[in-house]
C-alpha cells in the first residue's frame, strides 16, 4: 500500500485524489489518508503531492512507520474524498513546519 505521511497535515492539497483509480483516499479536517485495503499500489498518487507526503509502504523511514497504522485506522473512520478541493488556507505556511503530528485533528 501507499501511505500518507506527516507533510500532508495542515496542507491537504488533494492533487493526489485526482489520479487514484480506486478512490481510496479518506478525508479528515487537516489530513488525508489512504485505505490500505483498497489501494492497488499503482503509485500514481506519490508524484502528484506538492509537499511529497505520499510514500510506498516499503519506502517509509523508521520514524514514518507508524503512519501505516494511522492510515489504516483513520480511513475506517473518515469519509471518502473523490473530488479535488482547494488546499487548506494556510497550506504554504504549514508546508514549512515540522513535527506536525501533534496538530492532527482526528
The residues that touch ligand F3S, with contacts defined as CB under 6 A, are 4, 8, 11-16, 32, 48-49, 51, 53-54
3-class DSSP state for residue 104?
Answer: coil
Q: Give which of ligand SF4, ligand F3S, none residue 30 binds (C-beta under 5 to 8 Å, depending on kind).
A: none
Short-list 48, 49, 53, CA closest to 8: 53
Stretch that binds ligand SF4, among 42-50, 59-67, 69-77, 81-89 (CB under 6 A): 42-50
> Minimal CA–CA distance to 38: which of 55, 50, 65, 20?
20
Query: Which of the listed partners (ligand SF4, ligand F3S, none) does 53 bind, with a CB threshold of 5 to 8 Å by partner kind?
Result: ligand F3S
Segments in the chain forming alpha helices (H): 15-19, 66-77, 91-95
Q: Kindly state the smallest distance separating residue 8's Cβ from ligand F3S, in Å.
A: 3
3-class secondary-structure state, position 27:
strand
Look at residue 13 and give the partner it binds from ligand F3S, ligand SF4, none, a contact being a CB closer than 5 to 8 Å depending on partner kind.
ligand F3S
Amino acid at each position: 500500500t501507499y501511505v500518507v505521511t506527516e507533510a500532508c497535515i495542515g496542507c491537504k492539497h488533494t492533487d493526489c485524489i485526482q489520479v487514484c483509480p480506486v478512490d481510496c483516499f479518506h478525508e479528515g479536517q487537516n489530513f488525508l489518508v489512504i485505505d490500505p485495503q483498497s489501494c492497488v499500489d499503482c503509485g500514481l498518487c506519490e508524484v502528484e503531492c506538492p509537499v511529497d507526503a505520499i510514500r510506498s509502504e516499503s519506502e517509509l523511514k523508521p520514524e514514518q512507520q507508524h503512519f501505516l497504522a494511522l492510515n489504516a485506522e483513520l480511513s475506517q473512520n473518515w469519509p471518502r474524498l473523490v473530488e479535488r478541493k482547494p488546499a487548506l488556507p494556510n497550506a504554504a505556511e504549514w508546508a514549512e513546519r515540522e513535527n506536525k503530528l501533534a496538530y492532527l485533528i482526528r
